[in-house]
Amino acid sequence: MAQVVKRAYKYRFYPTPGQAAELARTFGCARMVYNKALEERTRAYTLEGRKVSYVESSAALTEWKRTDDLAFLNEVSSVPLQQALRHLQAAFANFFARRAGYPTFKSRKKSRASAEYTRSAFKYRDGALRLAKMDGPLNIVWSRPLPEGAEPSTVTVSRDAAGRWFVSLLCQDAIRPLDPTLNTVGVDAGITALATLSTGEKIVNPRHERADRRELAKAQRALARKEKGSANRQKAKLKVARVYARICDRRRDFLNKITTRLVRENQTVVIEDLTVRNMVKNHKLARAISDASWREMRFMLEYKTAWYGRELVVVDRWFPSSKLCSACGTVRDRMPLNVRTWECACGAAHDRDVNAAKNILAAGLAER
Ligand SMILES: [Zn+2]
């Protein structure tokens, strides 16, 4: 039986100068509304111990729009401003449920610029998407088709640090679960190899990445030499952002292929919980990229296993996956990082990562 899921389809688009200006204004207003509402909620929470609801924030927004100082908020579509308040509401819900830290202000420089439009604020017909207060449809590059008869329920417009514009359409989609299989697999996270499977297979980093990373390092060095506030520095900054965006795009493609394959081939996929390790700040580029990849890979595995009637098991991060012999179960005292292969007293010869992946699989199947 097919399952109906929500799925986002993301495309690049090229706004007209008028659309770009209108969107930039909308991003700015949405960010301002978010920050102002956050400030107000923080004041109420810290001074009065009171939680402010979405309805109250929304009423405050109406008041702000009536003042001379903030009358300009009326010039953009009201929907992205309401959506900013909904996002703030969700951030607080996560905070109160202890799923996330206290919400932080959005900064013009550091936060992704975006605006969200719901049904009443856009029109989609015959491949043409028109946003409220915008002249003409967006010039979208349809790199893959929307599913037949798809009706987007939400449209998110964003601009990344490299200056590229994207539109993401959230659609309902029918997905047919895959036929059941008896295969299971354990996956070990790595840095040199992106992942090692319990089958012994090593998934290496995408082909272009080494060259891309070299180019990124070069662009970063060039940026460091430029004088602060100069036009050349701005240019160098954009160059860094472009190379970085390319690395991320290629990564995402690659991760999508791997995760689809893992989910297709296996009934159960077992991975390690690396969230805590990931929170440790690490300035080494290779490590930062591999950590980001892991978060993304886990996220993809989560929704793809759910879509296709498969199972994802996440084992505890304190599990001694690399110190344990997968053949006899003996746990070694220590296993320095530079030891890539080792032999256990029981006679089993191990590749460090394959052994870890086998242990992760066994732990995951036991935990089920
Ligand atoms: Zn052994």
Q: Which of 188, 209, 212, 291 is catalytic?
A: 188
Structural domain includes residue 352? yes
Q: Can you tell me the mean pLDDT for 5-23? A: 94
Query: Regarding predicted confidence, which is higher, 45 or 2?
Result: 45
Q: Which of 22, 116, 272, 291 is catalytic?
A: 272
- Give the model's pLDDT for residue 110: 74
Please say if the pLDDT value at position 283 is more than 70: no
Query: Is the pLDDT score of 108 beyond 50?
Result: yes
pLDDT digits (tens, 9 = 90+) for 172-208: 888 888 999 999 999 998 767 789 999 999 998 777 8
Residue 343 Cα to ligand 1 middle (Å): 8
Beta-carbon-side half-sphere exposure of residue 211 (alpha carbons within 13 Å):
5
Does 97 share its domain with 46? yes
Q: For 350-362, what is the mean pLDDT?
A: 93
Q: What is the per-residue pLDDT for 264?
A: 96
Considering the candidates 22, 116, 215, 353, report the single residue annotated as catalytic: 353
162/196 same-domain check: no
Strands 311-315 and 268-272, bridge-based pairing: parallel
What confidence category does residue 285 fall into, taking pLDDT thresholds of 50, 70 and 90? low
Q: Taking each helix axis as running N to C, give the angle between helix 17-48 and helix 78-96, from 0 to 180 degrees, rounded to the nearest 10.
A: 40
The CB-based long-range contact list for 282-285 (8 Å cut-off, 24+ gap) reads: 285/213, 285/216, 285/217
Span from the CA of 244 to the centroid of ligand 1 (angstroms) = 43
Whether 18 shows a pLDDT value over 80: the answer reads: yes
Confidence of residue 286 (pLDDT cuts 50, 70, 90): low
Instruction: Tell me what percent of the chain is helix, strand and coil, each rounded to the nearest 5.
Output: 45, 20, 35
Q: Are 105 and 201 contained in the same domain?
A: no
54-66 vs 17-48: helix crossing angle, rounded to 10: 120
* pLDDT score at 22: 95
Q: What is the pLDDT of residues 127-137, one digit of tens each?
A: 899 999 998 99
Q: Name all contacts of 234-240 with Cβ < 8 Å and 24+ positions apart.
A: 238/162, 238/163, 240/216
Give residue 313 CA to ligand 1 midpoint distance, Å.
Answer: 25
Q: Is 33 a domain residue?
A: yes
**Shared-domain flag, residues 54 and 89:** yes
Number of H helices and number of E strands within the chain?
A: 8, 14
User: Is 272 one of the annotated active-site residues of the chain?
Assistant: yes
Is 188 one of the catalytic residues? yes
Rounded to whole angstroms, the maximal C-alpha distance in the chain is 80
Can you give the residue range of the structural domain that contains 164? Answer: 3-175
**For strand 165-175 and strand 3-13, is the pairing parallel, antiparallel, or unpaired?**
antiparallel
Question: What is the average pLDDT score of the chain?
Answer: 90
The reply to whether 238 falls in a domain is no
Q: Which of 153, 175, 197 is the last residue of a domain?
A: 175
Q: Examine the pLDDT at 27 and tell me if it is beyond 90.
A: yes
Q: Report the CATH number at residue 310.
A: 3.30.420
Residues 261 and 337 in one domain: yes
Q: Is the dihedral of CA 245, 246, 249, 251 positive or negative?
A: negative
Q: How confident is the model at residue 289 (pLDDT cuts 50, 70, 90)?
A: low
Nearest to 81 by CA among 100, 60, 67, 103: 60
In a domain, 225, yes or no: no
Contact status, residue 355 vs residue 339, Cβ threshold 8 Å: no
State the distance from the centre of ligand 1 to the C-alpha of 332, rounded, in angstroms: 9
Residue 337 has pLDDT above 70, yes or no: yes
User: What's the confidence (pLDDT) of residue 279?
Assistant: 41
Mean pLDDT of 268-280: 70
Residues 166 and 196 in one domain: no
Per-residue model confidence as pLDDT tens digits over 46-94: 999 899 999 999 999 999 999 999 999 999 999 999 999 999 999 999 9
Assign residue 133 a region (left: φ > 0; alpha: ψ between -120 and 50; beta: otherwise). Answer: left
pLDDT in tens, 238-258: 999 999 888 888 888 899 999
Distance CA 1, CA 55 (A): 39
How many angstroms separate the alpha carbon of residue 334 from the centre of ligand 1?
14
Distance 181 CA to ligand 1 centre (A): 30
Residue 239 lies in a domain: no
How confident is residue 1, by pLDDT bands cut at 50, 70 and 90?
low
Q: What pLDDT sits at residue 145?
A: 84
Residues 200 and 320 occupy one common structural domain: yes
Ligand 1 centroid from CA 188, angstroms: 19
Give percent of the chain above pLDDT 70: 95
Residues 28 and 162 in one domain: yes
Q: Which of 134, 153, 175 is the last residue of a domain?
A: 175
Position 28 pLDDT exceeds 50: yes
| Mean pLDDT along residues 30-45 | 96
Per-residue pLDDT at 156: 97
As a whole number, mean pLDDT of residues 145-165 equals 89
CB atoms closer than 10 angstroms to residue 120: 11
pLDDT of 278: 44
Query: Do both 195 and 291 map to the same domain?
Result: yes
Is 291 one of the catalytic residues? no
In a domain, 194, yes or no: yes
Contact of 262 with 269, CB cutoff 8 Å: yes
> What domain count does the chain have?
2
Q: Looking at the structure, tell me whether residues 150 and 296 fall in a common domain.
A: no
Across 24-38, 186-200, 284-298, 306-320, least confident range:
284-298
Residue 211: inside a domain: no
| Ligand 1 centre distance from Cα of residue 94 (Å) | 44
Residues 158 and 201 in one domain: no
Q: Is residue 31 part of a domain?
A: yes
47, 170: one domain: yes
DSSP lists the bridge partners of residue 177 as: none
Between the CA of 326 and the centroid of ligand 1 the distance, in Å, is 7
Is residue 352 within 8 Å of 339, Cβ to Cβ?
yes
